[in-house]
Structures are given as structure tokens and as C-alpha cells.
Structure 1
Amino acid sequence: MPVENDQIDISLTPVKFSHLYQTPMQHKAVGVPAIVSSLKQMLQYMHVKDAWKAAFALNQKGGFDCPGCAWPDPDDERSSLGEYCENGIKAIADEAQKKKITADFFAKHSVSAIGSWTDFEIGKQGRLTEPMLLKEGATNYTPVTWDEAFTIIANEIQSMQSPDEAVFYTSGRTSNEAAFLYQLFVRMSGTNNLPDCSNMCHESSGAGLSETIGVGKGTVSLEDIHNAELLIIMGQNPGTNHPRMLSALEKCKKHGGKIIAVNPLPEPGLMNFINPQNPLKIATGGTQLADLFLQVRINGDVALLKAIMLVLLNEEEKNPGTVFDKKFIGEHTSGYDEFIASLKTQSLKECIEESGVEENFIREAVTLIQQHKKIIVTWAMGLTQHKNAVDNIKEIVNLLLLRGSIGKPAAGVCPVRGHSNVQGDRTMGIWEKMPEAFMQKLKDVFQFEPPAKHGYDVVQSIKAMHDGKVRLFFAMGGNFLSATPDTAFTAGALRKTNLTVHVSTKLNRSHLVHGKQALILPCLGRTDIDLQSDNAQFVSCENSMGVVQMSRGVLQPPSKDLLSEVAIICQLAKKVLGNKFNIDWDELQNNYDAIRDLIEKIIPGFENYNQRVRNPGGFYLPNAVRERNFKTKTGKANFTVLPLNKIELNNDEYIMMTIRSHDQFNTTIYGMHDRYRGIHNERRVVMMHEEDMKVASLVKHEVVDLVSYYDSKERVAEKFIVVPMPIAKKCIATYFPEANVLVSVNEVAHTSNTPASKSVVVKIRKRVD
């Protein structure tokens, strides 16, 4: 059945082919090609002086935090040649573009005209320089003053029948200081509607880890990665998504560590790494990373882990006490007997079949796991965006608990965050259901009653907007439309609001799909110098391993009309709240130390915040699990009994995952090449195993439509080019956001409510034109 009332239009997913060509898939990552690519990006999009100044301040102590991934920086000395990767350079080249977008641009180009461009074309128009308003019924954005913009927002909020008619979204780029003030303003406005990008990525990690070990974050440091005996890397492509991780893997190998890579696609970044800062490695061909590659079928991870644990259990029963860490299990865990009883009911043969991995490879993995106890499991979106995503995380914990490989040096869990401060935002209170202890602190310190009712997460926000329950959608950064599932449904939801507001550095597709009115509020980027009352300010961020450090921009902003995110929040709060609360918003805007003083009063672990954040390299937040203090309901780490996940496919069906290209960070498109996979100048592709192509009578570069069926609706993504790829059989891969239309807003992970973007059942339809 066709989708009712929500057909895709050209402004959402323009179908443009760009003359695809392919090269052989690479087997090595980084090296000289990464250096060349970085130089091209800097020289093409930035002023040369700015490029070099930013590159040598990026991720340095006293410099600015990369606006890309959240991989941690070394605690000790940092490379004087540059503490960044190829995609880090792409991130700053994209943010600090020399081109500028002024009112003249919007006068020349209508919203519908811009909507016909590709996401790459939209993103490369330059930096936004002044506030813009799209009036109801208008075709073009026009300039508006900051005061007028804040008045429009304030009038909308103050005329609402309920504060819950507003939704306040946050991207992971927002600093600790801005995030704290943002959630404070929102809660003082009377709502907990604080969806954020975590809802779409590592929410499943937080849910699974909180229940099993009592903390929703990773438990290891960068030094632990270096010293681990065995790293198991699951559902992750570090060569593209967080390339600086590769140097940490190289150090682990140098120290004698072993690596198991688990993924439906062989990714060059997990196979061989050529360190671009090491001439010897460039000359000799780099470092082999993965000792073993397990090509799991999409969402076959629970089955794989169960198969591994069944073989381990068999070995333990043959030689009691030699495989499982019974001392650790007895002292620090709960639910072991129930878990083992359930595990024994599973069929090893069935688990192997469901995983898609050959038995001999599984037994090789078991041998490596048996031989080592300092084990770290890392993962990313390949595990967290399934209906059973929380089970994936819990099953990882089960394996580590059996080996006693958690809560000690060089062992534990490591969810790798994909955005620079997404973990810090959550720490600062950006969550629709913050714990009571946090809310009580807000009440005690600020003398107001925070709203008790949980707010909307991302999926709930989309549905509420679609039902007409939301009048205002406010986004602090990000590209909401392109990041979310079910593109047509989400677009229809946004269009039912009265006002959409986006705080942004650059133009993106979310600015083109709007409410009755729309505002674009341009802000400073991570690279920009932040002057408040002529005093330079810095912000702070938290990386994937719980380190908080300062970030200070080094480049002159592209316009004097830009405000910092902190300034935008403070001025909006003054306009909306007036003198209702005893807060000096002007002081907070002019002196970010005052914000950090407030954070210190609310959030544990931030004692002496202003002093410690000024220490070179920052400071670690406390992590009880590192001391084997498990703050769960049982007071121990919990084994979990989980079902075996099965995916039933008809002969003409495939399971699809949406992924990034190498020239992409989240929804930001840096270029049109996926260099490692050998796909060039095109994004509308579907990657298939050659044997699946033969069975389906498809030929290389044939153009097809992709179709999914959910909620009694047919969702169609038109015109995708078939490219052969050594992916697991009956599995296909497409890039997002182009294929997001196929992901139903109702297909979500249990508990976390994260969209199931990595396990979409689709059919491939031949075209007749």
C-alpha cells in the first residue's frame, strides 16, 4: 500500500546521479592518501592561514576539541605534527569554510530551489552569518534582528496552553556550558522535552549498561586500550568514523595485544593501518590490526556471542575453574546460575547459523578469549540501532562477566561515541528522563520545581508533532530531518508545527522542511574565538572515556552578527522567563566560569571545575565500575537471560543497514567518495554480495528501487545503483540519510526507543523505465 499523505518530495531526497565509478576495495587505511585528502580539504574550503592555525590547535592542550568524533586525546604528550585525523580535518574545513552565506544568498535562492540540491551541495554553500526568518507563506528567508527572533520565539512559548507543546532538541556538538544552561532554561520553562542525538545512537548502550553494571558509559581509558590483551571490535568502522582510534589499536598491537573484528562488511580500517606520522610504517606497509575477522550477518551479534559462550561453557565444564572467573563471579555478580541454565538450552548449531559466521572462525575466537583476561569490547552503531539493540549490549556484558574482564585495568566496555560532546550533553542534563537526584539538585540550588513528567525522546517528539501536539520545535545544532528515521513522516511532522528554530553554523536540509514560520539562528563554531564583553571565553567537552577538558577556538568568526550558543540561550531565557527566577543571565553569558560554578553545585564529579578544567588535558570523571563498585539494584554486576534473536527473510527479502561513507560525518557530507570501499562520485548505491546479485538477476550498476513494508505501508527509495561488495549474504548496505525513508518510525529498540536503522527488511524492485 502507498504511504498516505506523506509522499517523498524533491525537497527531501532529490534523486541525482553523479556518474558513479568504482575502484578496487582497499585493504589498508590512512597512510599517504589520507594526508593528501586532508590537504585538499583544507586548501579547497579554508583560507590557508586559517587552515594551518586550526590544524595545529586541533585536539591540543589549550586548543579546541575536534567537532567530529569523541575519541579521547592522549593524557600525556600530544603529537606536535598534529593530533588529528583525516576526518577531523574534514570537520574543521567544513565548519570554518571561507565562503559565507548572507541575506543576498537567500534573496536569490528560494527554499524550494535549495531543496532540489543534494546535501553535499547545500552544506558547501558556506557559513551562516546573520539571523534569518521564513515568514508564513513566504518562499524565501529574509533577515531578522536577534531581538526580533527572540521575540518571535518568546511569543510562541508564552502563548502555549502547555509547556509540553515545545520540543527542544540537542546535537552532540553543544558544549557542557551551553548544554547545562539549555536544559536549565527548558526545565524552567516547564517541560522535560529534551530529545537529543543520543536517542538515535548510544541510548541502547546506556540502557543496557545501566541495568547490568550500573553506569551508562564506558568503563575504560585510552591507556586501557593500549594495554589490553584482547580487543573485540563490534559493529564499528573506525577507519571512517573515528580514525584516531587506529593509532590506539596500533599501540595495543605493539604491546602484544590481539584484535577480533566483528562486522558484516570487511572494513580496511580494521585490517591494516598505515600511521601517517611514522615514515617507517609508510615505507613498510603499516600494521596488521585484526588477527581474526568474523563476518557476522546484520544483527547476528547475539547469536554470535551465545555461540562463543556455549563453546566457552563446554570448555569450562571439561576443566572447571580454568575458563570462567569463578572468584569474580561469586564476589561481584548476580544471576549467574539462571544465566547458565538458560545458556544450556540454546543450540550451538542454531546460534552459529543465525550468526552467519563459520564454526571454525567462532572456535578461533574462543581460543583467543580463553587465552586472555584483559579483554575490552568496543562497539558503535552496528550494535545499537536494532530492535534488540539493548540485548546486544547486555550479551557483551555477559561475556565479559564470565571472564572477569570488567572493573580492572585494561578490561571492560567501550561504547565509542560518534559525536564530540554527546556524552557530555547527557552528563549536563540533556535527557528527557533525568534521575530524581539531578532534579532535586536543580530544585535545591535554583529554588524552582522542575517538571516531574518525563518528556519526549526523538521518536516520541516526531509522533507528537505529527499528531499536532507540538507548536514549537527548537534545535540546538544538528540536522534533525536527515538524522531521524522515516523521512516523509518526520517531514510531515515538522510541517505541522507553528515555528521551527535551528541554531546552526551552516545550511542543512532541516532548514528547508519547516513549520508555518522558521528561524535560522547562526552561531559560533568550535573553531571560532568566543569573545563576550571583550573577554575570550572557553568551553569544555567530555569525550568517550569520561575526560573533561577545555576547548578554545582560534579563528576569527566569519561575521560580527554571530552569537555563541551560550549567548543565544541566555538572551532567549531573558526574553522568555524575564525576572521569574533569580538568575543573572547576563553574568552567565559574559563569564563562562559562572556557568561552571553552577555545574559544580549540581553534578557530582565536577568539584573545583574551573580549576581542574584549566589543567592541561583536563580531568577524569569518577567511574565506579573501574573500582568494581556496581551501582545496580542488586549492588552487583548482573548477568542477563536473553532470547536468541532470529530474522526470518523470504527469498526476495534482504536485511539492510544504513551506514556512512568515508566522506561523511553523521549527516554532514564532506565529499562524494567512499575511498576505502572504492565507491566514487555517488551516494545512491546499494551494496550487495555478488552471489545475491546473481540469484536476483541483477547486474553491476543496475538501477533499482528499494522497498520496505511496515505499518501496512509501502516505503520506496527510488533509483539506487547496485554495486558488488563483499558484504555478508542476504545483507545489503546503503548510505544515510538517502535510505532513511525506508526506516519506520515505529521500528525501535525495546527499552531505549532507538530507531532500528541497522536492520531494515527490504525488497529490491527492478525498474521498468
Structure 2
Amino acid sequence: MAIDSSNRIDSGDSPEFKPYHHPAAGWGAAKSVTEFMIGKEKEPILGSRAILKMNHENGGFDCPGCAWPDSIKGIHLDICENGIKHVTWEMTHKRVGPEFFARHSVSELATWSDHDLENQGRLTEPMSYDPDTDHYVPISWADAYALAGTALRELDDPDQAAFYTSGRLGNEATFLYQLMARELGTNNLPDCSNMCHEASGRALQAALGTGKGTCDLADWETTDALFILGVNAASNAPRMLTALAEADRRGARIVHINPLVEAGATRTIIPHEFRNMATFHATSTSTLNLQPRIGGDFALLRGMAKAVLEQAASDPHALDQQFIERYTHGFEEYRAAVAATPWSLIEEQSALTEAEVREAARVYGEADRSIISWCLGVTQHEHGVDTIREIVNLLLLRGNLGREGAGPSPVRGHSNVQGNRTCGIDNTPPARFLDRLDEVCGITAPRANGYDVVGTIEAMQAGKLRVFMAMGGNFALAAPDSAYTFEALRKCDLTIQVSTKLNRSHLVHGTRALILPCLGRTERDEQRGGLQQTSVEDSMAMVHLSKGMKKPASPHLRSEPAIVAGIARAALPDSTTAWEHYVEDYDRIRDTMAEVLDGFEDFNRRVRLPLGFRIKQPARELIFLTPSGKAEFSTAALPDTTPEPGTLSLATVRSHDQWNTTIYSDDDRYRGIKNLRTLVFMNRDDMRERGLSEFDEVDITSIARDGSRRSVQRYKVVPYNIPRGCAAGYMPELNVLCAIGDFSTQSDQPIMKNLTVVIERSA
């Protein structure tokens, strides 16, 4: 297998495209998992053991993939294809030790594809960058801590450091991490939420007084109607397919709203349903599929509300008037805003017909209880906050809140990204949290807001940020405006990456750099107090324990809490925080968390209950922590989502055979792609207008708000079922097209799902 400078995994095979017509999951998933475990990773025994331990209570470990909640029915194989791949990828027998780094310079490794970097295996020892040789060289843990501690102590201002968090970090390490940052004196705590669900938190906080959804898995199992917006369930939350199949079988209506009709929005065969697997019996996962243009969800939702309000003129049951009067504020203003929105504008901005919108409204109106769920297809837009507030508006009209089977239900991506925010990773922390932290932990936390992801990158560029630390993830590759981000990272004095595998962020580094290898979710964590467990929070606010099963990949690995504590002790030599005491026994961390965090009372006992415990959501109890004390209607006007002549709206998406920035292969089974990632999906009429045919090579140029342009060359065109004026391609390759200044003024998220581009045939 040749290695080149792109993300192409050069197998020598020609690219193929054949539209996918089979059920999601089923035997295709089983075959893919088998080939991955046996053929690629050669881990059939460990992989099989992991399947029996993943997402199970009584000593199991939490899948380090998506944040979909564990089954409340005790399903023995509550797993999915991508989860198994993610775990097997972590449990690989391959190793990246000092000998590897001695053979390969950073300059050489920078030419490798991202797949081939991660495919080298697990990191085994702490490494330090040597600028004289352009190689990483071994460093002891003590010296690594000392180097990091000295760099942090010598800063002129604690705000010259930033501490990034990926969603894989457990709650206990998260709490220690934010405690270290705030004891140092900064709220520079950017996280992956700044790029994915920041809009959800801000919208729900403004509308309901809580930054989280109100639904749990039991609600999904009792609702009459599910509306799924901007979600590719089969790839990004595969265990959702079980909930969709069960909903269909009991007669619930399921409406998918997405510019692309994904495989999970048609049919599925659930792998743990053995009879269906044996008989190839597929279950429907949708009642209706609607394809708005990119950014057209807001108009669709407004149209559904308009239809409901029109029906209310003759049907007293169309609205829940008692709920509206008792629990909401601003209804009359919202009613007027909807009435002032003509159907012609709704059709124009959604790219759907009035009849299609009314059909969705009919499903909603006939359901006694409805859930509306969404993911990044809704959030990564300029108007993401307004769109999610319109979701809440629609739910409020029929009292779909505070009762079983109803409410807003965002689908979070990474396994503990919600827990990171709950446990203190927040660059704009609430005063109540900081007050409790000061009181319990004996520190004086700063009150000034810190940098988010975009602010961190801009601060690096301006020379205002000298030390950057990342707990997990692949910041360099996940962030927008790749060239700008790379340049910014290289201006740092020191970059610190806490990781399990080699990735691009180790090669795009500061003057000095540390790679600190940590335990994976699957590995046993032995401390002085014995075998430890960490906790995570899923997408529906359930908190539960995770305990690794496997011997660590190297005796030199450290746990994430231990690494944070080691750096904290070196950076804060006079600290009264009992860092070493915490790491000996994670119950001690949880005891402190129970005193600081609302909803974590009696943490150590409750987290050991079967399936853990659910953090209370006040809005579920119809308690609204808003200025009015009620749920707030919003009255935003529809944005203009129509592309300018000659341009297209482009959304970045993940392929099926990748997880976040980790790419397992060049295939995307559910979209019919083989051996290709440098592609762009286009509507056939848009292709014809430009004189393009399948696999023609094109250059894609983005046009930023400030007029600047960024391009990628020689991408192959693939005709696809997508609305006119829209296009899609893979992240992280196309992150280069999102300018650092193209972020939402509502959420500060990079607008990676709505880039303005020009697509032209390559010269």
C-alpha cells in the first residue's frame, strides 16, 4: 500500500460508484466487521471479547464512539458496526514506539495520509520533539511533566494557554482538567462542542433554561412520531436504528428530513435480531423522507407551524391551548410572525412544495406525542440557533414537552462530549458553577470568558497564545481553515497532545512539542487504590461507569486523570489541591464532583446503579430557568438560503467508514462509493449545467464572507440524489474550504454544513 500526501489510501484500485439499495446494518455490517477484525486488524479474539463487554453494565466499558444511550432493555449485543471498528482500531496489536520515531522524521511523516498515520498503531511512550533532528525522541514522564509545568509557570499571563478537550475524555479527568486550568487562572477551555452542538446548547438554554434535550430512551420507545433532522443515523448513531425499527413496528410515524436520503432513513436489519438476520427480513425506518435544500430546515419547520396554526382556526385540538397559556411566553408574537411568513417564501427557502410541508405537519398534528431530533445538519449553519428554537416553537404548540414520549432530543456525536460540558469544560462558565468550585476546591477561579475553538486559533495566529494542550482528538484536522490552523499551531511555544494513536496534530506542532500516550477506554486502569472505573454521560444525560477489560498496550501508558494531575502538580507546585490523592482512587474525584456539580449528589452510589443515573432536566418537569419562568417562543425571520447564481451550497459530511477524523478506508458503503474520498456529490442537473459527467475532475473553490477564496483541486464528481444548488463532500479533507471567519454569529460554530462554493472542471 503506497503512502501519499493526500488522505487517499492508495490501494491501486479504481474508484467505483454504485447506488446503495440494501437495508442498513444487517449482513453488510456483519461482513464489514468481520473483514475489519480478521483481515485488517487481525484481532478476532480480542475483538469478539470486546463485543461481549461493550456497552454493558456489570463491568463493561462504554463504546468510545458515539453518544447514543445504552439500551434500557438489557440487550446483550447493544453494539454497532462502527463501534466495533472503533474499539478494534484501539485494541490493535500494532505499536508506535521510540524505534518508529527514530526511523521517521516529522517532515517525512507529514507527507503520509491520515489513515496511514493512525494505522501505525498505539503510542507506547512519552515523546518530545527535537528541532535539531526533526524527530520525536523519548522523554520520561517526570521530565515531560516538568517541561509542561515550566512552560505554564513561565507564561506572562495564564490566558496565554488553552486547554482543548475531545469528547472521549471521561468525566473524572474532565473535572480535574478544568480544575487545573482554572487554578492556573484561565477559562480558555475550547472543546469539540464549539464545532458541533454549541448551537443546540444556546438555543435550548434560551428557550427552556437548559442546554440539553429533555428526552430519554424510554421516550423514544413510547412516542407516536419521530422527526429526525440532519442526522445520518446508519453511520453516525447506528444504534439509533434499533429505536427506529421498534418505533415502526409499533406503528409510530418516522419522518426523516435531510438533503441526502441516507441508508438509515429507509430500511434496516438489526444485527442482534437473529431471526430477522437469518431470514433477511428488513424493517422500515421511515414513513416520510423530505429533502430540503442545505439550510432549508428552518423554513420547513416554520411551514409545519403555519399549517398547525391554520388548522387551529377550525380544530380546537390542533393546539394545546392550556399548555401554551400556562407554560409559555411570547405565543401571540410568534403566531403573528408565522402568519406574516407566506407559503411562497417557505417553498422558496426550503426547496420543498407546500404539499410536502403540509404532509409533515399532518403527521405531527395527528400524533399525540412527538419527538424532534437533530444533529450537525442543523447546527453547523449561520442560523443554527434560530432553527433549533423553531424546533422548540413547534413542540410548544402541541404541548410536546414535560410528558413521556415527547420533547427535543439532540443527537450528540462523541461518546462523552456532553459529559465534558457538564463537568466544567466551558469557556463561558456560569457564575454559579465557579462559585461552587471556589468554595469546594479552595481556589479562586477566573471570571472572564475564555477562548472557544475559533478564538483559540485566532489567538495563536496573533501570538497571544503560547501553550496549547489537547486531551484527545485531532485538533489540527478537525478545525476549520486547515492552512490557517496549521500556521497558528506552529506559532505556539509548546503544544501538548494526550493521545492513543499517531495523528496529524502531532506533526503540526509548536516550537516544542510533547506526545503523551494515555490508556484507551478498553484498557484496565490500575492505580494505588486498585482497578479504577471512569464515568461518561450519553446523549440523553444518563451517567454510567466504564471499566476497561484489556491489558494496556504498553506499561508506560498513563491514565488521563494521572496525566492531568502530573502536569498540574508541576505547573502549580504550591497548589493545595490533592492531585495525587485524587488519582489514587477516582471515587475521591467523584466525591468532590458531587459537591460542585448540580445533579451529581451521591455520585458514587448512584453511578453504580444498573445503567447509572439520569441528570435531572428542569424543563422536563416543566420548570423553566428562563427570565420569564416559562418556555420562550422565538420570532426570528427566515434566512435566505438560496445560493447566488453560479454557486452551490456545500456541506461537509463523514463517510460510513470513518469516525470523526479517523478514516478506516476509502469506502462509503451506504453511499455506494469504493476507493475514493476526494469527491463531491452533486445534483445531476447541476452537473449537466456545468458540462460534467461521473468521475470528471473538478476544482472546488469556497467564497468566504470576507471575499477570500480557498480551493481544492482534482476532486471527482459523483452524481447523487441531492437538491439542486447543493453539494456535499467529506470532512476533514474539505475543512480547508471553511474560512476561520466563517462562523455563526449565533453560536460561534464554523459553518461547515453551509459553505458557498464554485465548482469548475479542472484544467
- Please confirm whether the aligned pair reaches a TM-score higher than 0.5, indicating the same fold: yes
Structure 1 position 57 matched with structure 2 position 53:
yes
Residue aligning to 1:189: 184
- Give matches, 1:346-361, under 5 Å: 346-361=341-356
In structure 2, give the amino acid aligned to 1:713. Answer: S
- AA in 1 matched with 2:668: D
The equivalent of 1:210 in structure 2 is 205
1:423 counterpart residue number = 418
Matched pairs, number: 755
Structure 2 counterpart of 1:713, from 704, 708, 729: 708
CA contact (8 A) 1:15 1:719 kept: no
How much does 1:318 deviate? 2.8
Distance, in Å, in 2 between the alignment partners of 1:567 and 1:78 is: 34
Aligned to 1:227: 222
Are the structure 2 counterparts of residues 444 and 643 from structure 1 closer, same or farther at C-alpha, using a change threshold of 3 Å? same
* Distance of 1:712 and 1:604 partners within structure 2: 45
The DSSP-based 3-state class of the residue aligned with 2:345 is helix
Equivalence for 2:694? 700
Question: What CA distance in whole angstroms lies between the structure 2 residues aligned with 1:624 and 1:376?
Answer: 18
**Structure 1 residues 18 and 482, CA, compared in 2 at 3 Å: closer, same or farther?**
farther
Supply the distance in 2 between the matched residues of 1:290 and 1:137 (Cα, whole angstroms): 59
Deviations 1:426-483 (A, max 9, x none): 1100011111010000111122210111100000001000111010010000000111
Aligned to 1:676: 670
Which aligned pairs between 1:278-357 and structure 2 lie closer than 5 A?
A: 278-282=273-277, 283-319=279-315, 321-357=316-352
Report the identity percentage.
Answer: 43
> How much has 1:750 moved relative to structure 2?
2.3
Q: Do the aligned partners of 2:384 and 2:746 also contact (CA within 8 Å) in 1?
A: no
After TM superposition, give the deviation of residue 276 of structure 1 in Å: 1.6
**Which one is further off, 178-187 or 299-308?**
299-308
Mapped partners of 2:712, 2:247: distance in 1:
42
Match of 2:641? Answer: 647
User: What does residue range 25-104 of structure 1 map to in structure 2 within 5 Å?
Assistant: 25-43=20-38, 44-61=40-57, 62-79=59-76, 82-104=77-99
CA deviation profile, 1:273-332 (whole Å, cap 9, x unmatched):
11122243232531111101111100001111111111222111233x221111100000
RMSD of equivalent CA atoms: 1.4
In the alignment, which residue of structure 2 is the partner of 1:4?
none
Larger mean CA deviation between 163-172 and 742-751 belongs to: 742-751
> Residue in 1 aligned with 2:155?
160
What is the aligned partner in structure 2 of residue 134 from structure 1? 129
What SS does structure 2 have at the residue aligned with 1:651?
coil
Distance 2:331 2:529 in 1: 60
How far apart, CA to CA, are the structure 1 residues paired with 2:292 and 2:644? Answer: 19
Residues 735-763 of structure 1: CA distance to partner in whole angstroms, max 9, x if unpaired?
Answer: 00100111011111223201100000000
Using structure 2 for the length normalisation, give the TM-score.
0.97
Cross-structure match for 1:626? 620
Alignment match, 1:150: 145
Deviations 1:588-646 (A, max 9, x none): 11110100011011011111111111122111111111111111111000000011111
Where 2:260 maps in the other structure, the secondary structure is coil
CA distance in 2, matches of 1:213, 1:440: 23
- Structure-2 residue corresponding to 1:7: none
Judge conservation of contact 1:390–1:749 (CA < 8 Å) in 2. no
Query: Following TM superposition, by how much is the alpha carbon of 1:27 offset from its aligned partner in structure 2, in angstroms?
Result: 4.4
Paired position in structure 2 for 1:582: 576
SS of 1:56's partner is helix
Once the two structures are TM-superposed, the CA of residue 18 in structure 1 deviates from its matched residue by 6.1
Moved more, 703-712 or 42-51: 42-51
1:268 aligns with 2:263: yes
- For residues 19 and 745 of structure 1, the distance between their equivalents in structure 2, rounded to whole angstroms, comes to 34
Where 2:703 maps in the other structure, the secondary structure is strand
Which residue of the other structure, out of 437, 440, 444, is the alignment partner of 1:449?
A: 444
TM-score scaled by length of structure 1:
0.96
Q: Is the contact made by 1:12 and 1:115 (CA closer than 8 Å) also made in structure 2?
A: no
Aligned-pair CA distance for 1:115:
1.6
**Residue type matched to 2:67 in 1?**
A
Gap runs ≥5 in structure 2: none
Query: 1:248-293: per-residue Cα shift (whole Å, max 9, x none)?
Result: 1111122221100000001011111111222432325311111011
Q: Deviations over 1:351-370 (max 9, x none)?
A: 11210112222121111111
**Any conservation in 2 of the 1:53–1:554 contact (CA below 8 Å)?**
no
Q: Kindly indicate whether residue 489 of structure 2 is the aligned counterpart of residue 494 of structure 1.
A: yes
Which range moves more in the overlay, 17-26 or 704-713?
17-26
Residues 510-561 of structure 1, C-alpha deviations (whole Å, 9 max, x = no match): 1111111111100000000001127110100000111110000000111000
Q: Which amino acid aligns with 2:430?
A: P
**1:86, distance to aligned residue in structure 2 (A):** 0.3
Aligned residue in 1 for 2:499: 504
Question: How many angstroms apart in 1 are the aligned matches of 2:14 and 2:579?
Answer: 53
Distance in 1 between the 2:449 and 2:71 partners?
A: 38
Distance 1:143 1:410 in 2: 55
- Are residues 19 and 512 of structure 1, via their aligned partners in 2, closer, same or farther at CA, if it must alter by over 3 Å? farther
* Counterpart-to-counterpart distance in 1, 2:130 and 2:194: 31
Residue 364 (structure 1) aligns with: 359
- More displaced, 203-212 or 131-140? 131-140
Cα distance in 2 for partners of 1:253, 1:216 equals 29
**In structure 2, how many angstroms separate the alpha carbons of the residues matched to 1:333 and 1:756?**
31
**CA distance in 2 between partners of 1:368 and 1:582 (Å):** 59
Q: Distance in 2 between matches of 1:401 and 1:18?
A: 53
SS of aligned partner of 2:701: strand
Separation in 2 of the partners of 1:517 and 1:766? 42
2:644 aligned counterpart, secondary structure: coil
Q: Which amino acid aligns with 1:66?
A: C
Q: CA deviation at 1:46?
A: 4.8
User: Are 2:587 and 1:593 equivalent residues in the alignment?
Assistant: yes
Q: Is the 8 A contact 1:659 1:733 kept in 2?
A: yes
Indicate the residue corresponding to 2:629 in structure 1.
635
Q: Which runs of 5+ in 1 are unaligned?
A: 1-9
Deviation at 1:490, TM superposition (A): 0.6
Aligned partner of 1:483 among 465, 478, 484: 478
Aligned residue identity for 1:252: A
Alignment-derived partner of residue 727 in structure 1: 722
* 8 Å Cα contact 2:349/2:642 also seen in 1: no
1:602 aligns with 2:596: yes
Secondary structure at 1:510's aligned position in 2? helix
Task: Label 1:294 to 1:281 Cα distance change in 2 as closer, same or farther (>3 A).
Answer: same
Aligned residues of 2:61 and 2:546 also touching (Cα < 8 A): yes
Query: How far apart are the structure 1 equivalents of 2:219 and 2:644?
Result: 44
Query: 1:672-730 deviations in whole A, cap 9, x for unaligned?
Result: 21001001111101001111111110111011110012223220112211011111111
CA distance in 2, matches of 1:740, 1:679: 20
**Superposed displacement of residue 581, structure 1:** 2.8
Aligned to 2:165: 170
In 2, the alpha carbon distance for the partners of 1:12 and 1:499 equals: 27
Amino acid corresponding to residue 35 of structure 1 in structure 2: A
Give the aligned partner of residue 6 of structure 1. none
Q: How much has 1:90 moved relative to structure 2?
A: 0.8
Query: Which of 455, 460, 468 matches 2:463?
Result: 468
> What is the deviation of 1:138?
3.6
Deviates more, 1:209-218 or 1:745-754: 745-754
**8 A contact 2:383–2:746 mirrored in 1:** no
User: Could you tell me whether the CA contact under 8 Å between 2:8 and 2:678 is conserved in 1?
Assistant: no
Distance in 1 of aligned mates of 2:243 and 2:304: 26
Aligned-partner Cα distance in 2 for 1:77–1:647: 44
Q: Distance in 1 between matches of 2:657 and 2:292?
A: 25
